[in-house]
Structure 1
């Protein structure tokens, strides 16, 4: 059976036309959890959930899963057995073969659901994973929950704000997205906090000033502000942002990685522009610019206006040297990054 979308899954649920098996996985865990819980609830019928809804984890015994799948529903037409975060690599060959055999001949009265609220299916898969995923694809439907893009995120968060009695203006949304990142769970939490604050002041609108005051900036956002200060020659602000990152306990290697990402963005944009292309051209060949990629590239184009391609190339060399120092020398990580900032300032100035 095919891979289907979340919308297709919702149609199955609304029509109560359940398949024999569903496998739900992906990066957007919050949406995945909601969909899985709804599927499990609806496919197990309205009565006697203690008999018709069997919930398992990866630690559950496979014989227990098989018994639940094969048992007839109690005073109902349908039942559901669900297994969360199933990891084939953690199972013996005998247990896995027992499950695969079960998946080949699922009863019409049961829907078997595999869902992944915390575990990510590995990109590089072992033979056990490949066997399991192949069997799941043949037996039922696989549903992917990819990270939502800007338009979808805005629609959901705007709806969440309205549900709580607030309005989220476009400028406030842009600032919230840039500060909190694109994780749906984080955005919902921040929106809930902002709504409570606005309503407490007797206001409905979440203003940009509220977002600025209340929303903590992610590591990537703080590093972006630091890099923007560096490319503008504002050394004091750059060091202040580095102080903030260390105060928050951010890992030096994570700080350096975010810095490198910003400079790579600028290098790609500058190279595209000097080749007669647009600043968005890197999105055509680099997968990391999907979703919010346009936002990253626009920022990179603004930050790199006064820089040369050779200067950016020198910055990338300095970032590589700092990476080697962090991983291979005994120098204090903070000293490595402080020295990197001073050298990056000199690199862009000449």
Structure 2
């Protein structure tokens, strides 16, 4: 997508259940509309559950004193916003201020509503849902393979061979976020200028276990210890080792620790920042920010501040010369229990 492909005009709906792909589409649209000015200027983002119509409308009318004369307003998780302000949105499809674009990120977007028909006629509708079967699924899979090949080369600087893409899709669910994370990991394993080939994928991609590992990490961060421990049990029964699982857990938990540090430092400097901004600065991928905000609130500040110490202790214990398989497993179990809802520090009553 190049600047000018989709000039800012009216309302754009990005629908579907793939948050990573929706975020990538949004970024491409913003870049296409604003070009180099998209870095910090000309874009305002609202959270759909909290957004007020008057604020969104005012943002569409604003113009930055710097950068582009265009204005892009994004409403994330916009389903409740659309439900509450459907009539006003129907009106603004035809009366959007010149040079302004409103992007609605929704899960559901029935094409038979008056709003959807109006957007399709004068704006832009992009589906980020995976078709279930038939010719649509075949076409979607081909586009997904092309896109992954492009991402590997232009984002991670490595050639992804077509056969390797086929094996990736056989091993993993067709979710763009998971696939991109695996390509990023595989890119680190390649020798200088060597491609990601079939052999590398078969050696390092664990099929369903990759998905289950991320499910376990999410469950632990959610405080669902029972679920996380069950996932851990399945993974280790399938042959995974604690030595391999801890680094993946640590990668996510360190980002929560960094976010907590960012948030506290901003408070101390009397420059308060939102939790979302702290998470983004801590390295949480944009498409995971909504879920990560809920998870960090569950973890809480006292525990988040101890994550670096807990992870260091876990790493040292796993590397200890007396670390048997059972002992290594207990290290991960201890970490999961520490993050559980049941282990959360009692909140003092005001």
**Shorter-chain TM-score category?**
0.3 to 0.5
Larger Rg: 1
The TM-score normalised by the length of structure 2 is: 0.48
